[in-house]
Amino acid sequence: MSSASPRRAGRPKQAILTRDLIIDTAVELSKEAGAEGFSMKELAKRLGVQPPALYNHVANRHEVVNAMRGRLALSFEVDHFDDLPWYDALVPWAWAYRDAFAAHPQTIALLAILPLGDEEAVFLNYETIFSALHRQGWPVSELASAVIALESFIIGSALDVLAPEDNQAPGSLADRAPTMHAALEARKAAAKAQGATAADVTFGVGLRLLVDGMRARLRQFESD
């Protein structure tokens, strides 16, 4: 008489599919594959499931991308906007924003051009920043433009982190562009003295110029 086959015990080796696991995997996929290689089909493949299984946890690709944006938003510290003058609070926020995007260069195209959707963490961060600036004198009429202009600089600077430090060097044409050559060499020297990269030096200078310009603009509003 043959005996019955024993039943398998224990849980499956494959991780249980959850929304958090989907978003974590999406972040990793976007880092490796970039905007062009990011798809729900490829995401499902990474997770070892069929694409329809994803839709038990997320509505569509747009929701996944917005959730990724929310994850990054949580890494931008905004609590200091409640305690510091807006122009001091913007500086560490801008650095954290740039560094987060620079660490995920392939996600920039995905995150920068899509609508924000309904990811709560993103809007709460923005509201903290907008309300702090408005509370300290920024008129609503220019508030959005000021913040978005700063964001445009930050996102562009994240790409600069990835570029070779000598990508603008005139090289053999240095004698035809002596001032430019001298300026780039001075930036390189400043970076070495600070133990930083040229991209860091550029971002620091550019950020200060923007914040100083914003302060001058606010003074103009206050004097009108």
Domain at 155, CATH number: 1.10.357.10
Q: Which phi and psi angles does 10 have, rounded to 5°?
A: 90, 175
48 located within any domain = no
Torsion of CA 211, 159, 166, 200, to 10 degrees: 40
Domain count, the chain: 1
pTM, to two decimals = 0.79
pLDDT by residue for the chain (224 residues), tens only, comes to 555 555 454 444 456 899 999 998 998 888 888 777 889 999 999 999 999 999 999 999 888 988 888 777 777 889 899 999 999 999 999 999 999 888 877 777 777 777 776 778 788 889 999 999 999 999 999 999 999 999 999 989 988 888 888 888 999 999 999 999 999 999 999 999 999 999 999 999 999 999 999 999 999 988 87
54 located within any domain = no
72 located within any domain = no
184 located within any domain = yes
Identify the domain containing residue 157 by its residue range.
Answer: 80-223
The amino acid at 92: P
138 located within any domain = yes
15 located within any domain = no
CB 131 within 8 A of CB 82: no
171 located within any domain = yes
165 located within any domain = yes
